[in-house]
Amino acid sequence: MNGNHHKPHIVFYFSDTGGGHRSAAEAIIEALELEFPNALTTEMVDFFKDYAPPPFSKMPDLYPELVKAPRLWGASFYATNGRARARVITTSLWPVARIPARRLIREHPADLIVTVHPIANTFALKALGPNRPPFYTVVTDMVTTHALWFDTRSDRIFVPTEMARERALAYHMPAEKLEVVGLPVADRYCTPAGDKNLIRKKLGWPLDKPIVLMVGGGEGMGPLGKTARAIDESGLDLGLAIVCGRNQKLKANLESQKWDNPAFIYGFTRDMPDFMRAADVIVTKAGPGTIAEALNANLPIILYSKVPGQEDGNVTFVESEGVGVWAPKPQLVVRALTRWMSRPHEREKVVQNARRIARPDSARRIARVLGERLGLAKSQEPPEVETTLTA
């Protein structure tokens, strides 16, 4: 791996069980390109899909269906959580995981490894053995972090919140290995807000009404349509921007309806950074990526659904930091909006709190640590990093 002209190679272990793992890896790769142009190569490996034996190899396909049984999913999350239980899981599965884990390492040699998924950590570290490259973990759950995230052999573990750090300490992680950096998101979500009216003009949104941005995640999950209709029928004078993601059925259904307020219906879109900068409030499921992006845009947050288990703590975080509210029923969403619209000073306080706790430099901070570990010097050349995706 270490010839005279060799560029250091970083391998990211991820899996598409939820969108957050992939997007965190992509955000860090983008930050590496910006911080150290032309200085390294990167690669993403979906360890579940490409290396896990059946039925685990089907996890990326099964995940959207599994979380549709939220009580069962939440119960399994808590039943397997805890240091001792995590050790039982990894020990009992090691005979099954050993050969594919060693094959993954052999087929994807690295100068540095980054994991953005809790399942990868212990199996990879066990397979690597003592003579291994530097190994870093980026935790993509904001608060309710499973014990599998924390393996004391990891060189450093980046966590998104102080609450996540406290949980890591409770799992007996050495404090010096933990760093609170926020959640890494794409660079386009990290630039200053700019002129809201200018962005609205470009989008064709009204300038004289508050805009409520509604998001259901990439799959358009949660009671998005029902909540949108409740807001529209509430008598509030506002505009709605509703992002249905890949849920084409929901998009077609909403487009066929008559709306009292201006309503803009979108499918999967690359314009979310502008949507967030142009909106006044976001109504969303409690996904960590969307929360981090909304904070970077200083956008008050109403959470209307969550995945039990890993997203439970996201609600606690949003409420305890004063950046939003939990409103799991359409009428509660309407009540929160009514309060904020009728009391602009309250909404402004929430905006200030979001500005205070936002961490738009998260991906860059992680990238700088990785680059320094590899002995890279920051360069002024235009970015051009080779990135390979194995998925």
pLDDT tens track for 230-265: 999 999 999 999 999 888 999 999 999 999 999 999
Element (H, E) at 283: strand 281-285
For the ranges 17-31, 66-80, 164-178, which has the lowest average pLDDT?
66-80
Q: Is pLDDT above 50 for 3?
A: no
CA atoms within 13 A on the CB side of 311: 21
The answer on pLDDT for 386 being more than 50 is no
Q: What pLDDT, on a 0 to 100 scale, did the predictor assign at position 68?
A: 62
Q: Where are the alpha helices (DSSP H) in 160-207?
A: 162-170, 196-203
DSSP 226-261: HHHHHHHTTT---EEEEE-TT-HHHHHHHHTS--SS
Give the pLDDT band (50/70/90) at residue 72.
low
At residue 343, the 3 state secondary structure works out as coil
Predicted confidence at residue 86, as pLDDT, reads 76
Residue labelled with tokens 């929901």: 250
* Average pLDDT score over the chain: 88
The answer to whether 286 and 307 have CB atoms below 8 angstroms apart is yes
Domains located in the chain, CATH noted:
9-187+360-390 (3.40.50.2000), 192-357 (3.40.50.2000)
Phi then psi for 156, rounded to 5 degrees? -155, 145
Alpha-carbon span 26 to 30, nearest angstrom: 6
CA distances for 383 relative to 31, 165, 192, 238, 261, angstroms: 10, 33, 21, 42, 44
The model's pTM: 0.87
Q: CA 368 to CA 136: how far, in whole Å? A: 13
